[in-house]
Amino acid sequence: MDESKMNYMSAILFEHMKIGMVFYTKPMGLTLGEIDNIVRHMGILISVTELALKDLIAHGIISAKFRDDFQLEYKITEFGNYFFQELCSANEDAAAVCKKVGAIINEADDT
């Protein structure tokens, strides 16, 4: 794998981690519209978000279910909570990113 491809993959994985942190810092269920609003404030493309949601579901970090109004709701799983809790307690850089994600979510909620 050449360096540019490795940099691209690293960037995508970091974006996926930040999207996962959205669910960790805001554990209530989120619709796709709410997620889109938050990630726009984070500067993440919707195409990356769609791929990240699929990957996070496949890895058991988040789950999706239909609400009574027939909208999909995404929510962090028990494993996802454990994963991000361990990550943020073991790595202060990850904890700092998690705090920034929380601040961005609060900013997005205000708009």
- Up-side HSE of residue 71: CA atoms within 13 Å toward CB? 11
Beta bridge partners of 66: 72
Beta bridge partners of 65: 73
Q: Indicate the CATH number for domain 3-110.
A: 1.10.10.10
d(CA 97, CA 72): 27
**How confident is the model over 20-53, as pLDDT tens digits?**
999 999 888 999 999 999 999 999 988 889 999 9
**How confident is the model over 66-90, as pLDDT tens digits?**
999 999 999 999 999 999 999 999 9
pLDDT band for position 111 (50/70/90)?
A: low
**Is the pTM of the predicted complex or chain greater than 0.75?**
yes
